[in-house]
């Protein structure tokens, strides 16, 4: 698999935009690791769905929980795991790499020494993150489809919904990571923010089972919105109004995060 962009002379009318040059850098790096990430993107959902969906799910299905709305536990848990995967991928791709790239010897500094603007550097990196999210979501959804959970049309919608969910995390995290000076803070956020979201946002059980006050808090999180959107697509219960709310929430968060990142990148890379 090749990820190289065409090389053009500086000043050429056909030279790629600056953001695409930055994208090319990240794709070049990805050439060394893409096989491992694709294997993980397939192996993880396969193991999770086999163990929790097809294994534990048989015991859950016997109980006939009303929270499953007549669906099997496999149909319930698959979209939750997909959205949670997108959250984790968005964080992993936007936290550590942005932090490391912004250091004195990081690649952001090298790029900033060229005619590229901080905005171009950000745009190129976010394009790569979107690419990674799209690839991971596609691989995960292929496994879900192989279990017979969704058909082709729903699978496509799931990929798009999961990618947007990941971007709703990636853009704000990039805006924050560019300001971080200690890597321990990145690790703390992963442990004490992302993991609780992963556990209590409806990934493994319905958030409706939570106490009222906690459910209200969870419902305001992007992972809950992403899981609810993906689950409504999988179960066939999506409505125009409900989907618009979820999509709007995730899109606004991604845009706000992007705008904040533009300011943060300009301040950090011009210092």
Q: Is residue 11 part of a domain?
A: no
Distance CA 108, CA 118 (A): 8
Range of the domain at 217: 18-269
Distance CA 71, CA 4 (A): 44
Residue 202 backbone phi and psi in degrees, to 5:
100, 15
Q: Look at residue 1 in the predicted model and tell me its pLDDT.
A: 52
Average pLDDT over residues 123-138: 96
Average pLDDT over residues 170-184: 96
Q: Is residue 264 part of a domain?
A: yes
241 three-state secondary structure = helix
Q: Is residue 83 part of a domain?
A: yes
Q: Is residue 3 part of a domain?
A: no
* Residue-level length of the chain: 271
- Of the CA atoms within 13 Å of residue 51, those in its CB half-sphere come to 8
pLDDT at 6 over 80: no
Q: What is the pLDDT of residues 209-244, one digit of tens each?
A: 999 999 999 999 999 999 999 999 999 999 999 999
Residue 10 backbone phi and psi in degrees, to 5:
-60, 130
Predicted TM-score (pTM) of the model is 0.90
Taking residue 37's Cβ as centre, other Cβ atoms within 10 Å add up to 15
Q: Is residue 87 part of a domain?
A: yes
- The domain total for the chain is 1
| Residue 216 CB-density burial (10 A; 0-12 exposed, 13-18 middle, 19+ buried) | exposed
pLDDT at 59 over 90: no
Q: Is residue 149 part of a domain?
A: yes
Q: What is the pLDDT of residues 187-201, one digit of tens each?
A: 999 999 999 999 999
Q: Which of the four pLDDT bands, split at 50, 70 and 90, describes residue 11?
A: very low
pLDDT at 3 over 60: no
């Amino acid at each position: 698999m090749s990820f190289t962009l065409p090389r053009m002379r500086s000043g050429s009318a056909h030279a790629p935009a600056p953001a695409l040059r930055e994208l090319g850098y990240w794709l070049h790096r990805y050439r060394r690791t893409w096989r491992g990430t694709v294997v993980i993107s397939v192996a993880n959902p396969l193991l999770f769905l086999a163990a929790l969906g097809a294994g534990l799910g048989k015991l859950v299905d016997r109980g006939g929980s009303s929270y499953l709305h007549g669906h099997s536990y496999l149909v319930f848990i698959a979209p939750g795991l997909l959205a949670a995967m997108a959250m984790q991928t968005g964080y992993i791709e936007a936290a550590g790499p942005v932090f490391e790239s912004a250091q004195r010897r990081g690649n952001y500094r090298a790029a900033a020494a060229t005619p590229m603007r901080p905005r171009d550097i950000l745009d190129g990196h976010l394009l790569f993150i979107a690419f990674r999210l799209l690839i991971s979501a596609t691989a995960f959804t292929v496994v879900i489809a192989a279990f017979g959970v969704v058909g082709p049309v729903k699978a496509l919608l799931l990929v798009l919904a999961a990618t947007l969910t990941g971007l709703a995390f990636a853009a704000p995290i990039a805006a924050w990571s560019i300001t971080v000076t200690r890597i321990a803070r990145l690790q703390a956020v992963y442990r004490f923010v992302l993991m609780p979201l992963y556990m209590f946002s409806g990934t493994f059980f319905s958030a409706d089972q939570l106490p009222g006050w906690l459910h209200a808090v969870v419902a305001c999180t992007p992972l809950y919105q992403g899981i609810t959107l993906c689950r409504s697509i999988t179960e066939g219960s999506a409505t125009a109004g409900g989907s618009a709310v979820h999509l709007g929430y995730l899109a606004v968060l991604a845009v706000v995060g992007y705008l904040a990142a533009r300011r943060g990148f300009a301040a950090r890379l011009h210092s």
